[in-house]
Structure 1
Amino acid sequence: MTVLALIATYATYVVVWSWYAAQLVSVLLGLWALLDAAVRPADHFIAAGRRTKGFWLGVTGAATAVLVLTGNLLDPGAAVGGFGMLGLLGVTAAAVYLTDVRPALNVYRPVRVRSRLRVVRGTTQSRPRRRRDWGRH
């Protein structure tokens, strides 16, 4: 009987900490979406045809607020059952922004150009320089 009680105890710990990790990851996902939406220029949203910047700031801000308020991040022992349907909606809103809107906005990101070429020496693809003696045989 003690072996079964020990297995049940450790299984409970695994479930509690996995729920806690899922809630922590979802809050980080919401924060990432909110900060990314805040940093992007407003004209990129219009050019990409993905609503407005204010709309996505509102959606990702509400999603992050719901994720922070529904998750029991300060008490890992109470993490089970605190997420619910609102938490799922918050994760979905953040995931929609990160998987649909963000790639569309990346098209309008400025292109960085290097100012000089970098010469890599000592690799197998570089050819050794040979002296040329023009006209001497």
Structure 2
Amino acid sequence: MIAYYINYGVWVMLGAVAVVIEVRALIDAVRRSPDTFTAADKRTKTFWSLLLAAGLFFGYLALPAIPLGPIVLGAGLGGSLFMILAVLPAAIYLADVKPEVARFTRRPPRSSGGW
């Protein structure tokens, strides 16, 4: 019986980490300028935003159902393959697209901090 709870806890932690990765990738993609994606030759901002949003949606569906009082976090649908397929676009974005897009992102000049 204890092995079940350990297995379920590991499954919940992996699902939570996957959802955090998906959220981080989506927020980064939304904050970037559309011009940087085309300058980096990495599809469009709309393409990546929609793909990452779909990955986040399916990642939420794959997250095991966790009752938190009246709220249930996760849907508990799908299995480990479903969770891997959901986090795959975020992993590709963070490993390949983000570094290239970051090269073309303008950074505001730093202020000296003085008056």
TM-score (structure 1 length as normaliser): 0.68
C-alpha contact (below 8 Å) 1:27/1:67 kept by paired residues? yes
State the 1:87 CA deviation.
Answer: 1.7
**Match for residue 24 of structure 2?**
32
Query: 1:19, CA displacement in angstroms?
Result: 0.8
Stretches of structure 1 lacking an aligned partner (at least 5 in a row): 1-8, 119-137
Structure 1 residue 17 displacement after superposition: 0.7
Aligned counterparts of 2:78 and 2:3: Cα–Cα separation in 1: 19
For 1:1-137, what aligned pairs fall within 5 Å after superposition? Answer: 9-75=1-67, 82-116=78-112
- Percentage of pairs with the same residue: 32
The 1:51–1:37 alpha-carbon spacing in structure 2 relative to 1, beyond 3 Å, is same
Name the SS of the counterpart of 1:37 in structure 2: helix
* Residue 117 (structure 1) shift: 8.7
Q: Secondary structure at the match of 2:66?
A: coil
CA shift at 1:58, angstroms? 1.1
Query: What's the TM-score once normalised by structure 2's chain length?
Result: 0.80
CA offsets 1:90-130 (integer angstroms, 9 cap, x no match): 11111001111011111022235444399xxxxxxxxxxxx
Deviation at 1:15, TM superposition (A): 1.6
Unaligned runs of 5+ in 2: none
Worse-matched range after superposition: 46-55 or 103-112: 103-112
Larger radius of gyration between Structure 1 and Structure 2 = 1
Number of residue-to-residue matches in the alignment = 108
Q: d(CA) in 2 for partners of 1:81 and 1:64?
A: 14
**8 Å contact kept, 1:64–1:90:** yes
